[in-house]
Amino acid sequence: MSVLFEPCTLRSLTIPNRVWMAPMCQYSAELSGPDAGVPNDWHFAHYAARAVGGTGLILVEATAVSPEGRISPADLGVWNDTQVEAFRRIVAFLTSQGTVPGIQLAHAGRKASTGRPWTGGGPLGADTGAWRTLAPSAVPFDEGYPVPAELSVEELRAIVGQFADAARRALDAGFRVAEVHGAHGYLIGQFLSPHSNRRTDAYGGSFENRVRFALEVVDAIREVWPDDQPLFFRISATDWLDQNGWTADDTVRFAALLKDHGVDLLDVSTGGNAAGVSIPVGPGYQVPFAARVRAETGLPVAAVGLITDPEQAEKIVANGEADAVLLGRELLRNPSWARHAARTLGGDVHVPPQYHRSV
């Protein structure tokens, strides 16, 4: 029996296999008006295809907890009831295929107010709908980016509340897993790293202060998220900086705190907070960071990053380096990757009756 296709139980939730879909922004929502941030037919078709393909858990892309928390105007949101109603259709279909629906809750911070990648990305201008960006400190992400407004303590508390409200709405929509986006240089990750956090108050300086905001968000979500349903946290395990950045040692230390605060799994990625860094990209290049967290803290982890073939994924789980693998671009290329991997490895996976001829 393939370990990749064994169930994974977190709290009272059992995920049918360990092939999971990483959150990947589609930049395909309406840009403004009453349908801003609302999932549409593109999102339905996109996620439905991966569920039909046998994926055990789908984490819906970074979904903003407020309009100003979007990466781009075309991002999904979960700050109003119209968005919730549209999500219900997607969630119901994923569930009907045996796939567990999850959602990543996010605030982009100083990396907000940018264009779609295929239109050039980068910061929006005043004539293209730019809005004020927010951050722990008034330090821009890179050259050409605006200087963000440094958040006051009162504003921080309001954002913590926005995360909690978003979690309530996600639960109402039927999601079974919530993930806090603390990676890739977005707002929570900006607080964690001394590279982007230059504050001198209770939210900056020491490690304990820099992780304070993240833990407050986790606590607020855990208060409204059911005790029997898991909460994930996505982390960038390193900024890939030689000095004055977030490190793998910090990640292990923080993971132990997250575990104490009710996080059930760490989704381990890297980078995104510092521009222009050199990252040694290669097959499974981020797996060692996940493996170290699991070995040193006992917190379950999911590994992500250039995991592309079934034997590679099987080995990661079988060796105890991770409890599950998260596929990104590979699932964009092949929505039925899980079904093909099950055939290769001798595992069992859900196949809709309409597709039995493909087995």
Q: What is the mean pLDDT of the chain?
A: 97
Residue 46 amino acid letter = H
> What single DSSP character describes residue 22?
P
Per-residue model confidence (pLDDT) at position 32: 84
- Residue corresponding to tokens 């296999």: 17
Asked if residue 1 has pLDDT above 90, the reply is no
- Strand 231-236 relative to strand 265-269, pairing: parallel
d(CA 207, CA 114): 30
Q: At what angle do helices 41-52 and 81-96 cross, to 10 degrees?
A: 20
CA nearest to 255, candidates 295, 285, 224: 295
State the sign of the Cα–Cα–Cα–Cα dihedral 238, 240, 242, 243. negative
- For the stretch 170-198, pLDDT in tens is 999 999 999 999 999 999 999 999 999 99
**Contact in structure between 36 and 29 (CB atoms under 8 Å):** yes
Question: For residue 358, what pLDDT band results from cuts at 50, 70 and 90?
Answer: confident
Per-residue model confidence (pLDDT) at position 51: 98
Per-residue model confidence (pLDDT) at position 196: 98
Catalytic site residue from 27, 47, 145, 186: 186
- Rounded to two decimals, the pTM is 0.97
The residue ranges of every structural domain in the chain are: 3-358
Per-residue model confidence (pLDDT) at position 31: 87
Asked if residue 164 has pLDDT above 90, the reply is yes
Q: What is the mean predicted confidence (pLDDT) over 208-213?
A: 98
Higher-pLDDT residue of 358 and 257 is 257
- For the stretch 26-40, pLDDT in tens is 999 988 888 999 999
Q: At what angle do helices 212-224 and 248-260 cross, to 10 degrees?
A: 30
Report residue 139 as tokens: 């330090």
Per-residue model confidence (pLDDT) at position 340: 96
Burial track 214-238 (b if 16+ CB lie within 10 A, e otherwise)? bbbbbebbbebbeeebbbbbbbbbb
CA nearest to 262, candidates 147, 333, 167, 149: 167
Asked if residue 359 has pLDDT above 80, the reply is no
Per-residue model confidence (pLDDT) at position 265: 98
**Contact in structure between 100 and 51 (CB atoms under 8 Å):** no
Report residue 19 as tokens: 């092939």
Catalytic residue list contains 47: no
Per-residue model confidence (pLDDT) at position 342: 96
- For the stretch 269-318, pLDDT in tens is 999 999 999 999 999 999 999 999 999 999 999 999 999 999 999 999 99
- Residue corresponding to tokens 């200087």: 147
Per-residue model confidence (pLDDT) at position 64: 98
Tell me the percentage of the chain whose pLDDT exceeds 70: 100
- For the stretch 91-148, pLDDT in tens is 999 999 999 999 999 999 999 999 999 998 999 999 999 999 999 999 999 999 999 9
d(CA 270, CA 284): 12
Per-residue model confidence (pLDDT) at position 54: 97
**Contact in structure between 323 and 301 (CB atoms under 8 Å):** yes
CATH topology of domain 3-358: TIM Barrel (3.20.20)
**Contact in structure between 119 and 106 (CB atoms under 8 Å):** no
Per-residue model confidence (pLDDT) at position 357: 85
d(CA 168, CA 228): 15
Q: What is the mean predicted confidence (pLDDT) over 258-268?
A: 98
- E strand residue ranges, the chain: 8-10, 13-15, 19-21, 57-64, 100-106, 134-135, 149-150, 177-182, 231-236, 265-269, 301-304, 324-327
Q: What is the mean predicted confidence (pLDDT) over 207-234?
A: 98
DSSP 56-79: SEEEEEEEESSGGG-SSTTS-B-S
Please tell me whether residue 278 adopts helix, strand or coil conformation.
Answer: coil
